[in-house]
């Protein structure tokens, strides 16, 4: 269950990062006609931030894919152990939730 929630969190963060990058690029385009040292400096900082965000997004995506591949390989190599672990976690969660 923890794997699923961390996977959902990772997907949510990746999606949010994509939205931020897209919005920042739109803002950069919208202010392209603004002139002056302050506007030029702000655009340069925003471009640098966008590039860092894209790199971080790619790292996050690569990390998620690598973790999924490792999990898939483990489950395929140890199907009964994986089933036992899932059953055990489900039983523990069921007991904890029923105690409330």
pLDDT tens-digit series, residues 37-89: 877 888 788 888 888 888 888 888 888 889 889 988 988 999 999 899 999 99
Contact between 13 and 60 (Cβ < 8 Å): yes
Angle (deg, nearest 10), helices 2-30 and 37-77: 160
- With a cut of 60, say whether residue 19 has pLDDT above it: yes
Per the confidence metrics, is the pTM higher than 0.75?
no
Q: Does the CA dihedral 20-25-28-33 come out positive or negative?
A: negative
- CA-wise closest residue to 22 among 55, 45, 54, 44: 54
Q: Residue 3 contacts by C-beta under 8 Å, 6 or more apart in sequence?
A: 71
pLDDT of amino acid 77: 93
């Amino acid at each position: 269950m923890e794997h699923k929630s961390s996977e959902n969190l990772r997907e949510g963060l990746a999606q949010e990062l994509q939205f931020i990058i897209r919005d920042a690029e739109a803002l950069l385009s919208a202010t392209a006609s603004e002139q002056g040292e302050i506007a030029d400096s702000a655009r340069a900082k925003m471009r640098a931030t966008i590039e860092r965000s894209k790199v971080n997004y790619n790292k996050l995506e690569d990390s998620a894919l690598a973790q999924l591949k490792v999990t898939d390989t483990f489950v395929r190599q140890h199907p009964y152990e994986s089933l036992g672990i899932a059953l055990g976690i489900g039983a523990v969660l069921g007991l904890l939730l029923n105690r409330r």
